[in-house]
Amino acid sequence: MKNIRPCFWSILQALALLPTMALKDSQMTTKRFSEEPEFERPIGNHTFFLGREAVLGCAVTNLAKHKVGWLRAEDQTVLTMHDRAVLGERYSVSLDAPRTWQLRIRPLRAEDRGCYMCQINTQPNMLMQSGCIDVYVFGKKFCVPPRSASC
Ligand SMILES: *[C@@H]1O[C@H](CO)[C@@H](O)[C@H](O)[C@H]1NC(C)=O
């Protein structure tokens, strides 16, 4: 009996410590999940050839449970949600590992010129950034609206 008692006490002490340890653990978990997503770099403005493929990349860190969507800026039409294209065959989305969500438009049409928004469904305010596409048609450059001085 004498030998069991110290062991018994250390078990009791361990039990007393458990809630504290659990609390610490949940605080760490909360902290990890409360890190908000961020854009890693701007999408930028890019020029692509008519009839070819246009690719815009949206690099996101700490996405966690959030989802990335691509929208056409002009009319806020949703083009892709997470890993699915939701508007027609010309649009697709691919994840360039580890964390760049690429909007692909193919074949590119002249009317595709304009700006596109990458959106993250954070609450209460969504995060978004945009980048624009110019289209080269037979050596002539169509400019994103409105026509800029370089066109
Ligand atoms: C991209 O183009 C848009 C529209 O013309 C313009 O407002 C924006 O400043 C440009 N961004 C960069 C980084 O050049």
For residues 72 and 150, the model is more confident at 72
pLDDT at 15 > cutoff 90 = no
- Structural domains of the chain, count: 2
Tell me how far the alpha carbon of residue 148 lies from the centroid of ligand 1, in angstroms.
Answer: 10
Q: How confident is the model at residue 23 (pLDDT cuts 50, 70, 90)?
A: very low
Residues 6, 42, single domain; the answer is no
Instruction: Determine the distance separating the centroid of ligand 1 and the alpha carbon of 45, expressed in angstroms.
Output: 6
Q: Is the CB of 144 under 6 A from ligand 1?
A: yes
Same domain, 30 and 59: no
Q: Is residue 122 part of a domain?
A: yes
Give the pLDDT of residue 35. 83
77 and 138 assigned to the same domain:
yes
67-109 pLDDT tens trace: 999 999 999 999 999 999 998 899 999 998 889 999 999 999 9
Domain-embedded: residue 148:
no
The predicted-structure confidence for 103-146, as pLDDT tens digits, reads as follows 999 999 999 999 999 999 999 999 999 999 999 986 555 555 54
pLDDT of 137: 83
- Written as one string, the DSSP assignment of 16-66 is HHHHHHHHHHHHHHHHHHTPPPEESS----EEEETTS-EEEEEEEE--TT-
Asked whether residue 69 falls in the same domain as residue 15, the answer is no
DSSP labels for 84-110? EE-S-TTEEEEEETTTEEEEEESS--G
In a domain, 149, yes or no: no
Residue-range definition of the domain harbouring residue 23: 1-34
Res 5: pLDDT: 56
d(CA 91, CA 93): 7
CATH number for the domain that contains residue 113? 2.60.40.10
pLDDT at 120: 97
Structure tokens at 36: 């908000």
Ligand 1 pocket member 132 (CB < 6 A): yes
